[in-house]
Amino acid sequence: MEIFISLIPFLNGGYYYLEYFAIGIILILFLCLKKEIKIENNMVMYSLIGLLISYIISIRFAVDPGLAFTGTIKFLVVIFLYISIVNSDKEKLKKNMVISGVALVVLGVIFNKFHSGRLISFVGYANVFGMYLLMCIYFLKDMYVNKKYKFFLEVILFIGAVLTFSRAIYILLGIILLKYDRKKVLLIIGIIVGVSLFNSSSERVIKGTESSSVLERFFYYEDSIKMVHDNPFGIGEGGYYYLQKKYQTAYYSTKFVHSAYLQKLIDVGIIGSVCFLILLLLIFKESNHKYMLMVFLTHSAIDLNFEFLLGYLMLFMLMKDQELLIGMKFKKKYMLLILIVMITGLLFISKSKITAEDYYVIGNFEEAIRVNPNHYKALYGYIEELELDKEYKKAEIYTLKYIHNYPYDIKGYEKLVDIYIFLNKYDKIKDIENMLKDVKITERAYRLKRVPDLNLKKYIEEKERKNKNVR
């Protein structure tokens, strides 16, 4: 079981729901093979159960109930990961994690697992991968192995962390080394300088907080607070992506808010977030890895660690190192029952259309909008469908709705221009100019060019030229 858990990073870090479910099923099988399963009878377990209940409640208030249901099943896997780690040999697991970290770096480079010049390996996301490598570096420092061999492993892990080109990872790596091994700070600086000479991604590190990706996150955070205020019970997992456009004060598109704590507030509401914070506080209070845990939790405040099962693996590995002293035995027949439910759920979700995205993918835009009225991609797809069917009047109504709901998205204004050209309503285009003027634009949004900017005259000329060529 320890070997399998250390292979989770190779399965996209347990990001996609199919991998999540598959991991859950395999963990349950491993637990069933054990002679005895013990579950800690403590507040950590109760906090996890409280969080699971919050996920179940969020289905009722979800933007997309199908996605929220999937998120609930995913969190059930998190609980089984916790039980698996509690019933594992943690020292053996730490060694396996270090080996998997080194393998991820080597194989990631060999198979060119880079995205925009940043090493993502098989995890699929540079920042979470970088955090995992920091965890491996931390566990390696206490391992009793040959000094030369340990140094060799450290260098590979250092190079991997540097190749993620994550600003936060660079800072946190420096903090860890200053605490535990100051001599290696110069080595890291040398690796960073050396790698930067051959990789253009180093520019994002040099720009630091002036980078648009950093400044853009302030929009995410500010806008998400308003979302939480209006949805205290949460909007279910996956809902943020579809609801964000209604709350944004600048144009952007992001699947997550880039803060584990705000994301929990959005997904499962205030009650769920309280359970999550209690869980973190309980683990922190008992942990004998407080410094590393603080590093991990700080990184989680500005990134997506808990969108991956790998994030929970890192959290649970920083729990107190001791054998399970107090616990309650768990009967295997209940585990087998849960296994059957998990397999049935996996088959049902993989074969059924339970989310708006399922309908959107097959082009059934009306059904996607029915399931999730905030599915803006489906709404836009439906408008284009109406346009192809030459139902321009109806397309105009839905485009105006799109602009009203998503005033920062330039696509809505462009589509309305297209419709007015087809309807020969050139006088109406003046209204679009007024719509653009009415959009509230902050100085920061203007500076980052996150505003609906449309040169109507130029756009109309280009559109008419294209239409003549088609004719």
Q: Structurally, how many domains does the chain consist of?
A: 2
Tokens matching residue 11: 């399965």
Any idea which of 25-39, 188-202, 432-446 has the lowest mean pLDDT? 188-202
With cut-offs at 50, 70 and 90, classify the pLDDT of residue 348.
low
Q: What's the confidence (pLDDT) of residue 226?
A: 92
More confident position, 180 or 131: 131
Q: Which of 319, 345, 371 is the last residue of a domain?
A: 345
Q: Are residues 40 and 156 in the same domain?
A: yes
Same domain, residue pair 131 and 39? yes
pLDDT score of 324 more than 50: no
**Mean confidence (pLDDT) of the chain:** 84
Domain span at 423: 390-470
Which tokens is 439 given? 């959009």
Shared domain check, 331 and 457: no
Q: Is the predicted pLDDT of residue 92 greater than 60, yes or no?
A: yes
* 17 within a domain of the structure (yes/no): yes
Where among 284, 313, 345 does a domain terminate? Answer: 345
Same structural domain, 316 and 451: no
Shared domain check, 407 and 333:
no
Rounded to an integer, what distance in angstroms lies between the CA atom of residue 314 and that of residue 370?
39
> In terms of domains, do 313 and 405 share one?
no
Whether the per-residue pLDDT at 326 is higher than 50: the answer is no
Residue 359 lies in a domain: no
- Whether the CB-CB separation of 14 and 242 falls below 8 Å is answered with no
Instruction: Work out the average pLDDT over 1-7.
Output: 93
Least confident of 13-22, 33-42, 313-322: 33-42
Judged by average pLDDT, the poorest of 169-178, 191-200, 222-231, 275-284 is 191-200
Based on the fold, state whether residues 324 and 399 are members of the same structural domain.
Answer: no
Supply the pLDDT for residue 424.
84
Q: What is the pLDDT of residue 96?
A: 96
Q: Which of 104-113, 167-176, 250-259, 350-359 has the lowest mean pLDDT?
A: 350-359
Domain assignment present for 68: yes
Confidence check: pLDDT of 147 > 50:
yes
pLDDT at 245 (0 to 100): 86
Does residue 205 share a domain with residue 300? yes
Task: State how beta strands 328-329 and 118-119 pair.
Answer: unpaired
- Given the DSSP bridges, would you call strands 118-119 and 38-39 parallel, antiparallel or unpaired? unpaired
Q: Is residue 369 part of a domain?
A: no
CA angle 414, 419, 425 (to 5 degrees): 110
Tokens describing residue 414: 């462009």
Write out pLDDT tens, residues 30-57.
888 877 777 766 788 899 999 999 999 9
Residues 87 and 17 both lie in one domain = yes
Same structural domain for residues 333 and 443?
no
The verdict on residue 258 lying in a domain is: no
pLDDT of residue 440: 76
Q: State how far the Cα of 131 lies from the Cα of 68, in Å rounded to an integer.
A: 27
- Choose from 101-105, 288-292, 386-390 the range with maximum mean pLDDT: 101-105
Residues 14 and 85 in one domain: yes
Whole-Å CA distances, 464 to 413, 435, 439, 457: 16, 22, 27, 11
| Proportion of the chain above pLDDT 70, given as a percent | 81
Does residue 209 surpass a pLDDT of 70? no
Tokens of 242: 């579809």
Residue 67 within a domain: yes
pLDDT of 213 reads 65
Residue 16, in any domain of the structure: yes
328, with CB counted inside 10 A (0-12, 13-18, 19+), is: exposed
pTM for the model: 0.87
290, 316, 345 - which closes a domain: 345
SS (H, E, C) the chain: CHHHHHCHHHCCCCCCHHHHHHHHHHHHHHHHHCCCCEECCCHHHHHHHHHHHHHHHHHHHCCCHHHHHHHHHHHHHHHHHHHHHHCCCHHHHHHHHHHHHHHHHHHHHHCCCEECCEECCCCCCHHHHHHHHHHHHHHHCCCCCCHHHHHHHHHHHHHHHHHCCCHHHHHHHHHHHHHHCHHHHHHHHHHHHHHHCCCCCHHHHHHHHHCHHHHHHHHHHHHHHHHHHHCCCCCCCCHHHHHHHHHCCCCCCCCCCCCHHHHHHHHHHHHHHHHHHHHHHHHHHHCCCHHHHHHHHHHHCCCCHHHCHHHHHHHHHCCCCCCCCCCEECCHHHHHHHHHHHHHHHHHHHHCCCCHHHHHHCCCHHHHHHHCCCCHHHHHHHHHHHHHCCCHHHHHHHHHHHHHHCCCCHHHHHHHHHHHHHCCCHHHHHHHHHHHHHCCCCHHHHHCCCCCCCCHHHHHHHHHHHHHHHC
Whether residue 242 contacts residue 374, with contact meaning beta carbons closer than 8 Å, is answered with yes
Contact 40, 345 (CB under 8 A): no
Is 223 inside a domain boundary?
no
The Cα 342–Cα 78 span in angstroms is 13
> Do 109 and 29 share a structural domain?
yes
pLDDT tens sequence across 62-90: 999 889 988 998 999 999 999 899 888 88
